């Protein structure tokens, strides 16, 4: 008998006639699933076309009044949109969305469905957050069809905690598997679009930090947010990595307190509060995260190494960029780190990915290596090229303004930046050696 079953790999798309534990093409485990093709009948009806200008009305946005949350979504929640929120276990996803649902329920109708916790657990959390009087409708359910049928078309917001616990009888596997997650998400997205209900899906993340389940989940939804934070640190960062209705890479900063998450409206002040007095290795970087400038402290420690291969440790920055900056310093400043361990830390738990942080990192490393502290009222930004030149970076005026607002007196920046001085002294530098001369760092 002919076997007409087909299987494909979720990671690379390779096709097989039988199920395998490991894909022969991309060597990934557990990625091969059966391809169940829906029976397809061609419709004879014709589709209508329209012009691009047909719908140029303003997007309606609903505010939750948790301003950090609204900001990350681009200024409010768009009805009918589907938002996926991912994050490590225990980081506070359920807490955040319970707070959001309570805030939204003051003006809108809102349903919170949990497949992970019992109603009692959620009520205890609500009591802790002092929101037991809100009109959020709560249910513990995992059957996606039951959820869609019960919510109906008159609800403004639907929150699902989490997409990995949902199941659908038409997909033939246990909850959390690729087929289940995809089918349930597909049904909920269709539901959101047809009823104009905004849907929030909480998603688990894998060991590597990506949202568990098929990558296609992130393609299907309108917005993907990650809720991040360092263990042992009370600050939490909500970051948008995809947003069809607003800018991506936007940040919302929260602090986890005893009574839930509280938005941080002035993050620069917060990240600088615990700065020590004039210590070598510490310098302030004027960065841009999303749409706003944020000042953070870059800390470096350079010590003698007891290992045959000296160690480089980084928290909050990219290790490869650190290695590049170290190589440029070695070649331009004639200082050797080959017998030194180097640690770099972005204080406060923020993760920086901007190249504009290069100069601040270089200055903190040089300051640590030479044991010369940098003036407390000085801050730095600029990208370093491989030949040691300092390159200009975008949105300099906002960086300067923020530094001025926080009381900094001097800012070291790339020479090509075309900005007039205001209340802060602008020290432009052309190359790394220029910066070393300016700061009077003596590492010999």
Residues that bind ligand TYD (CB under 6 A): 87, 89-95, 125, 128-129, 256, 258-260
**b/e map 285-323, b = 16+ CB within 10 Å:** bbbbbbeebbbbbbbbbbeeeeeeebeeebebbeeebbe
Tell me: does residue 94 bind Mg ion (CB under 5 A). yes
Least distance (Å) between residue 210 CB and ligand TYD: 16
Own/partner pairs, 144-149, CB within 8 angstroms, 24+ separation: 144/168, 144/183, 144/184, 144/187, 144/188, 145/169, 145/187, 147/113, 148/187, 148/188, 148/191
- Nearer CB in complex with ligand TYD: 101/378: 101
In angstroms, the Cα distances linking 339 to 199, 342, 343 are 54, 10, 13
Tokens representing residue 96 in the block: 């955040």
Q: How far, CA to CA in Å, does 50 sit from each of 43, 47, 53, 54?
A: 20, 10, 8, 7
Residue with tokens 């098929």: 214
Among the residue ranges 24-32, 93-101, 150-158, 381-389, the one whose residues contact Mg ion (CB under 5 A): 93-101
Considering CB distances under 5 to 8 angstroms, the limit depending on partner class, which of ligand TYD, Mg ion, none binds residue 125? ligand TYD
User: For 62, which DSSP code?
Assistant: B
Q: Which stretch binds Mg ion (CB under 5 A): 63-71, 90-98, 125-133, 146-154?
A: 90-98
Q: Tell me the closest approach of the beta carbon of residue 262 to ligand TYD, in angstroms.
A: 10
| Residue 125 vs 401, nearer CB to ligand TYD | 125
Report which DSSP code applies to 47: P
Sign of CA dihedral 378, 381, 384, 389: negative
Shortest Cβ 155–ligand TYD spacing (Å) = 22
In whole angstroms, the minimum distance from the beta carbon of 120 to Mg ion comes to 15
Distance from C-alpha of 88 to C-alpha of 90, rounded to nearest angstrom: 6
Return the number of the residue (159 or 342) whose C-beta is nearest Mg ion.
159
State the DSSP string of 262-316.
EE-S-HHHHHHTTPPSS-TTEEEEEEEETTEEEEEEEEEEEEE--SSS--EEEES
CA–CA distance, 23 with 36 (Å, rounded to integer): 18
Q: Which is nearer to ligand TYD, 92 or 287 (CB)?
A: 92
87 binds, among Mg ion, ligand TYD, none (CB under 5 to 8 A by kind): ligand TYD
State which residue, 128 or 372, has the beta carbon closest to ligand TYD. Answer: 128
311 binds, among Mg ion, ligand TYD, none (CB under 5 to 8 A by kind): none
Q: Which is nearer to ligand TYD, 87 or 280 (CB)?
A: 87
| Inter-residue contact 238 to 96 (CB < 8 Å) | yes
3-state secondary structure of 327: helix
CA dihedral 201, 204, 209, 215 (to 10 degrees): -60
- Residue 227 C-beta: closest distance to ligand TYD, Å: 7
Residue closest to Mg ion (Cβ): 94
Q: Residue 349 Cβ, how far from ligand TYD at the closest point, in Å?
A: 15
Give me the least distance between CB of 97 and ligand TYD, in Å please: 8
- Sheet with 235-243, side-by-side order of all strands: 137-140, 110-114, 157-161, 198-204, 82-87, 223-228, 235-243, 251-257, 260-263
Our CB check for ligand TYD shows the closer of 157 and 381 to be: 157
Q: Does residue 114 touch Mg ion according to CB under 5 A? A: no
Binding-site size for Mg ion (CB under 5 A) equals 1
Tell which positions 279-308 bind Mg ion, by CB under 5 A: none
Where does this chain touch Mg ion (CB under 5 A) — which range of 25-33, 92-100, 178-186, 387-395?
Answer: 92-100
> Measured from the CB of residue 85, what is the shortest distance to ligand TYD in angstroms?
9
Q: How far is the CB of 402 from Mg ion (least distance, A)?
A: 35
Q: How far is the CB of 91 from ligand TYD (least distance, A)?
A: 4
260 binds, among Mg ion, ligand TYD, none (CB under 5 to 8 A by kind): ligand TYD
C-beta closer to Mg ion: residue 94 or 370: 94
Q: Among 351, 85, 125, 357, which residue's Cα sits nearest to residue 226?
A: 85
Q: Which is nearer to Mg ion, 176 or 385 (CB)?
A: 176
User: For residues 228 and 402, which CB has a smaller minimum distance to ligand TYD in the complex?
Assistant: 228
Tell me the C-alpha to C-alpha distance, in Å, between residue 223 and each of 34, 103, 249, 282: 28, 20, 11, 36
From the list ligand TYD, Mg ion, none, partner contacted by residue 95 (C-beta under 5 to 8 A by kind) = ligand TYD
Chain residues that interact with Mg ion, rule: CB under 5 A:
94
């Amino acid at each position: 008998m002919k076997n007409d079953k087909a299987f494909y790999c979720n990671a690379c798309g390779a096709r097989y006639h039988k199920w395998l534990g490991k894909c022969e093409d991309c060597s990934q485990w557990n990625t091969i699933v059966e391809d169940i093709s829906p029976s397809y009948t061609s419709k004879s009806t014709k589709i209508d076309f329209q012009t691009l200008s047909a719908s140029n009305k303003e997007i309606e946005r609903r505010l939750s009044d948790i301003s950090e949350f609204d900001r990350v979504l681009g200024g409010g929640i768009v009805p009918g949109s589907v938002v996926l929120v991912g994050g490590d276990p225990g980081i506070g996803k359920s807490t955040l969305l319970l707070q959001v649902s309570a805030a939204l329920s003051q003006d809108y109708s809102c349903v919170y469905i949990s497949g992970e916790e019992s109603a009692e657990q959620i009520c205890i959390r609500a009591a802790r957050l002092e929101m037991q009087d809100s009109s959020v409708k709560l249910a513990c359910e995992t059957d996606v069809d039951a959820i869609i049928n019960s919510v109906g078309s008159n609800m403004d917001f639907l929150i699902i905690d989490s997409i990995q616990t949902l199941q659908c009888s038409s997909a033939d596997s246990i909850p959390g598997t690729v087929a289940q997650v995809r089918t349930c998400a597909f049904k909920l997205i269709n539901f959101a679009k047809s009823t104009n209900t905004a849907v929030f899906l909480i998603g688990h993340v894998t060991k590597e930090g990506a949202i568990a389940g098929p990558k296609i989940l992130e393609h299907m939804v309108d917005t993907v947010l990650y809720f991040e934070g360092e263990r042992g640190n009370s600050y939490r960062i909500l970051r948008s990595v995809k947003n069809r209705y607003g800018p991506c890479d936007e940040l919302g900063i929260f602090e986890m307190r005893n009574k839930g998450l509280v938005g941080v409206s002035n993050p620069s002040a917060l990240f600088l509060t615990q700065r020590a007095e004039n210590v070598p290795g510490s310098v302030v970087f004027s960065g841009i995260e999303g749409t706003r400038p944020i000042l953070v402290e870059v800390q470096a420690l350079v010590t003698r190494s007891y290992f045959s291969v000296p160690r480089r440790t980084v928290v909050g920055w990219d290790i490869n960029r650190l290695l590049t900056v170290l190589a440029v310093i070695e070649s331009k400043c004639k200082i050797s780190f080959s017998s030194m361990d180097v640690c770099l830390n972005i204080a406060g738990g923020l993760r920086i990915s901007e190249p504009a942080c290069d100069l601040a990192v270089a200055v903190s490393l040089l300051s640590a290596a030479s044991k010369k502290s940098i003036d407390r009222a000085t801050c730095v930004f600029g990208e370093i090229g491989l030949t040691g030149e300092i390159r200009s970076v975008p949105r300099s005026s906002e960086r300067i303004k923020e530094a001025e607002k926080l009381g900094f007196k001097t800012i070291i920046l790339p020479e090509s930046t075309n900005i007039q001085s205001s209340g802060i002294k602008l020290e432009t530098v052309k190359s790394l050696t220029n910066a070393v001369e300016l700061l009077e760092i003596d590492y010999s």
